Chains A and B, each alone.
Chain A
Amino acid sequence: MTKKQKKMRLRILISALLLAGMMAADRLFLLPAGVRLAGYLIPYFVIGYDILRKAVLGIRNRQVFDENFLMAVATVGALALGEYSEGVFVMLFYQVGELFQSYAVGKSRQSIAALMDIRPDYANLEQDGQVVQVDPEEIAPGTLILVRPGEKIPLDGVVEEGSGSLDTSALTGESLPRSVTVGESVISGCIDLDGVLRIRTTKEFGESTVSKILDLVENSSMKKARTENFITHFARYYTPIVCYCALALALIPPLFLGNWGDWIQRALIFLVVSCPCALVISIPLTFFGGIGGASQAGILVKGSNYLEALSKADTVVFDKTGTLTKGSFQVAQIAPVPGVEESQLLEWAALAESFSNHPISKSLKAAWGRQPDQSRVSQVEELAGLGVTAQVDGQSLALGNLRLMEKVGAQCPPERQEPGSRIHLALDGVYQGSILIADTLKPTAVAAISALKKLGVRQTVMLTGDSPAAAAAVAGELGLDSYHAQLLPAQKVERVEELLAQKPAGKTLAFVGDGINDAPVLSRADVGIAMGALGSDAAIEAADVVLMDDDPAKIALAIRICRKCMVIVWENIIFALGVKGVVLAAAALGLSNMWLAIFADVGVMVLAVLNSTRMLRVGKSK
């Protein structure tokens, strides 16, 4: 609790004790009128002096529908009608509600700050064999810093010495440690688990990943959702309307029916219920919690408006390479002719490619898994557009496409339309078989698409610049609704515009890409989601939602979190307005009393705030 809150707690306790004492005395003894009034006024002033002061200031500043003014009128009115204890109680409960609200908000803010506890406090510099701790902001790019086990990496950089594993969970929500070694780049905010690292920084602190992320999360609540703006708008009209109703209720019926005291009391109930606090505080709190909870799961939402939009996602459009697939080549199939072992074919291929660094060569070597013995290979010749020929163990080996097979006179099966590229192999002019190399699906891609379907996403579409055969294979395997292949970046935007025109009103379209070359599409979609954004500034800039790792399953999780947030928002709106409406109606008919009014004001606010705080835990329940 802050100092302010502690002071308020003390005032509430003193006032409550005084009030209880006074009520007991009131029951037991027949007190003179003056003593009774004075006895109740003491706790009233203890608890309400600041409200009364603000009410007077409000009148002077012509802020009549200020909640302080309303509380002052309602309680003074109750006191004037002789309902001493009710008057004090209304003020007391109002202050309890305010204290609770300020405490809950403070707690939420703290727990979000704790979730985002990635800000490094210091960086270690080595000077004359001594380790000095320095503020990360003071370190220029190109400085060599030391990170010891258990410490946070303070700035983005490249490992110059040492190796170890990094805990990236604070950034990505991914619990598996990532291992790094010399020459690899590392990002700030990760925790070094073991091994001493010497890192050459590449960015200053303000430009480092950790600063960008903190900035993004802190400022995301500034972009307000439509529901949020609706509530502030609503509050602007709700309070004056209820107050005018109160005035009308106090003046008009008694002109005809008499019984002024009864009608004024009904009007005072209106004033107590007129405060829109429950909504005005709980709605932003819910969005704030949603953004915080999502960031804990490695999903950064750049504004409440995007959170609201993503909850209504109806069409999800994907980029293929790097989003649904790994974007790296792998051996997908080994097809030797009868009599040749798969491993034999792979060994030949790896040997022939042993001097090359082409992605395809790398994938062949990776599939074989051993270091090829280069002394067995000679006369390597790369033939552009065909493949490679070499002497392996004294035999002449040809590795490449069908044209190369024709050239060396090897008989081979006809070409097929298939995803990826097929590499054929011949030894001394005799065909030995082929290896299919293709981009592979991410392990969670299938589950990610079916999770989206389960959430009721109507359409899943894939846009790719790749060949129709490759696109068809991926789309078929994932069960996507449709795909468009061989698209240029500008054509992707056109396709997204077509889909935007087709979607039903009130629904949204989300585009998921890796953020590297699809910035125009990301900004054109209702919600642009960039994935694998760890370390990619361009993606963080262009997207509305940033997935810190490259797991497509996070998309469904993000939609679920957004939906839960919107459910809580609407629960609060309906609950608060419902209770207030019922109490107002009952008050007008004379069926309500001050206690119900207090519940409709403070009770509803407390319940709505408690409901909102459920959002803070959303990131943990994956």
Chain B
Amino acid sequence: MKKTYKIEVDCANCAAKMEQAACRTPGVAAATVGFMAQKMSVTFEEGADPAAVMEQVVKNCKVVEDDCVIYI
């Protein structure tokens, strides 16, 4: 399953770091952050609960970039 979320992030490098952080989160099969589009699209692993996974994704992204916002 793939879902797209609106995000707010100020710098392109931070967006790249968020992408990595999201990819590392358990339950995430793949993640892409579009800095220009200010969007994050996440493909979830089969059987994963998107709501629970996204909570962890937000936590992991906050670690690498304190200022980021993900609208879930």
With A61-B64, A63-B64 as known contacts, state yes or no: A280 contacts B13, CB within 8 Å: yes
Residue of B nearest to A53 (CB): B66
List, in ascending order, chain B residues with CB within 8 A of A284's CB. Answer: 12, 34-36
Binary per-residue interface labels of chain B (3-43) against chain A in the complex, 1 for a CB within 8 Å, 0 otherwise: 01000001111001101100000000000101111010100
Give the residues from 195 to 240 in chain A that come closer than 8 angstroms, CB to CB, to chain B. Answer: 218-219, 221-224, 232, 235-236
List, in ascending order, chain A residues with CB within 8 A of B63's CB. Answer: 61, 63
Bound: A547/B41 CA distance, A: 26
* B21 CB to nearest A CB, Å: 10
Residue of B nearest to A102 (CB): B10
With A61-B63, A63-B63, A63-B64 as known contacts, state yes or no: A222 contacts B13, CB within 8 Å: no
With A54-B66, A105-B36, A221-B34 as known contacts, state yes or no: A98 contacts B11, CB within 8 Å: yes
- The answer to whether B16 touches A232 (Cβ under 8 A) is yes
Give the residue of A54, A108, A219, A236 whose beta carbon is less than 8 angstroms from that of B39: A219
Binary per-residue interface labels of chain A (144-175) against chain B in the complex, 1 for a CB within 8 Å, 0 otherwise: 00000000000000000000000000000000
Bound: A285/B37 CA distance, A: 10
- The answer to whether A224 touches B64 (Cβ under 8 A) is no
* B65 CB to nearest A CB, Å: 9
- The answer to whether B16 touches A221 (Cβ under 8 A) is no
Bound: A490/B53 CA distance, A: 43
- The answer to whether A235 touches B34 (Cβ under 8 A) is no
Is A276 engaged at the interface, CB distance under 8 Å to the other chain? Answer: yes
* B59 CB to nearest A CB, Å: 11
List, in ascending order, chain B residues with CB within 8 A of A312's CB. Answer: none
Residue of B nearest to A283 (CB): B12
Give the residue of B12, B16, B34 whose beta carbon is less than 8 angstroms from that of A222: B34
- The answer to whether A224 touches B32 (Cβ under 8 A) is yes
Main secondary structure of the interface of A (DSSP, over half): helix
- The answer to whether A218 touches B37 (Cβ under 8 A) is yes
List, in ascending order, chain B residues with CB within 8 A of A102's CB. Answer: 10-11
- The answer to whether B36 touches A285 (Cβ under 8 A) is yes
Bound: A105/B14 CA distance, A: 14
A interface residues, tally (CB under 8 Å): 30
- The answer to whether B13 touches A219 (Cβ under 8 A) is no
Bound: A275/B11 CA distance, A: 12
Is A84 engaged at the interface, CB distance under 8 Å to the other chain? Answer: no
- The answer to whether A101 touches B64 (Cβ under 8 A) is no
- The answer to whether B12 touches A109 (Cβ under 8 A) is no
B interface residues, tally (CB under 8 Å): 20
With A63-B64, A102-B10, A219-B4 as known contacts, state yes or no: A280 contacts B36, CB within 8 Å: no
List, in ascending order, chain A residues with CB within 8 A of B64's CB. Answer: 61, 63, 66
Bound: A101/B34 CA distance, A: 16
List, in ascending order, chain A residues with CB within 8 A of B11's CB. Answer: 67, 98, 101-102, 277, 280-281
Residue of A nearest to B39 (CB): A222
List, in ascending order, chain B residues with CB within 8 A of A98's CB. Answer: 10-11
Is A473 engaged at the interface, CB distance under 8 Å to the other chain? Answer: no
Is A567 engaged at the interface, CB distance under 8 Å to the other chain? Answer: no
List, in ascending order, chain A residues with CB within 8 A of B16's CB. Answer: 232, 235-236, 280
List, in ascending order, chain A residues with CB within 8 A of B10's CB. Answer: 98, 102
Give the residue of B12, B19, B37, B39 whose beta carbon is less than 8 angstroms from that of A277: B12
* A53 CB to nearest B CB, Å: 9
- The answer to whether B66 touches A221 (Cβ under 8 A) is no
Binary per-residue interface labels of chain A (47-71) against chain B in the complex, 1 for a CB within 8 Å, 0 otherwise: 0000000100100010100110000
- The answer to whether A221 touches B13 (Cβ under 8 A) is no
* A66 CB to nearest B CB, Å: 8
Is A329 engaged at the interface, CB distance under 8 Å to the other chain? Answer: no
List, in ascending order, chain A residues with CB within 8 A of B4's CB. Answer: 219, 222
* A437 CB to nearest B CB, Å: 49
Give the residue of B12, B17, B37, B67 whose beta carbon is less than 8 angstroms from that of A219: B37
Residue of A nearest to B64 (CB): A63
- The answer to whether B34 touches A280 (Cβ under 8 A) is no
Give the residues from 278 to 319 in chain A that come closer than 8 angstroms, CB to CB, to chain B. Answer: 280-281, 284-285, 287-288
Residue of B nearest to A98 (CB): B11
- The answer to whether B36 touches A57 (Cβ under 8 A) is no
- The answer to whether B36 touches A221 (Cβ under 8 A) is yes
- The answer to whether B36 touches A288 (Cβ under 8 A) is yes
Bound: A58/B64 CA distance, A: 7
Bound: A108/B35 CA distance, A: 12
Bound: A54/B14 CA distance, A: 12
Bound: A101/B14 CA distance, A: 13
Bound: A285/B35 CA distance, A: 9
With A67-B13, A284-B36 as known contacts, state yes or no: A222 contacts B41, CB within 8 Å: yes
List, in ascending order, chain B residues with CB within 8 A of A221's CB. Answer: 34, 36-37
- The answer to whether A109 touches B19 (Cβ under 8 A) is no
Residue of A nearest to B37 (CB): A221
Bound: A372/B36 CA distance, A: 60
Give the residues from 473 to 495 in chain A that come closer than 8 angstroms, CB to CB, to chain B. Answer: none
List, in ascending order, chain A residues with CB within 8 A of B32's CB. Answer: 222-224
List, in ascending order, chain A residues with CB within 8 A of B37's CB. Answer: 218-219, 221-222
List, in ascending order, chain B residues with CB within 8 A of A285's CB. Answer: 12, 36
Bound: A377/B46 CA distance, A: 71
Residue of A nearest to B63 (CB): A61
Which residue among B10, B12, B34 has the maximum number of chain A CB atoms within 10 Å of its CB?
A: B12
Give the residues from 84 to 108 in chain A that come closer than 8 angstroms, CB to CB, to chain B. Answer: 98, 101-102, 105, 108
Residue of A nearest to B35 (CB): A284
Query: Could you jot down 14 A-B contacts, CB within 8 Å?
Result: A54-B67, A61-B64, A63-B64, A66-B64, A67-B13, A101-B11, A102-B10, A108-B36, A219-B39, A221-B34, A222-B34, A235-B16, A280-B11, A281-B13
8 new A-B contacts at CB < 8 Å, known A63-B63, A98-B10, A222-B41: A63-B17, A66-B64, A219-B39, A276-B13, A277-B12, A284-B36, A285-B12, A288-B36
Q: Which chain A residues have a beta carbon within 8 Å of chain B's beta carbons?
A: 54, 57, 61, 63, 66-67, 98, 101-102, 105, 108-109, 218-219, 221-224, 232, 235-236, 275-277, 280-281, 284-285, 287-288
Shortest 7 CB-CB distances between A and B: which pairs?
A: A288-B36, A281-B12, A222-B34, A280-B12, A232-B16, A280-B13, A61-B63
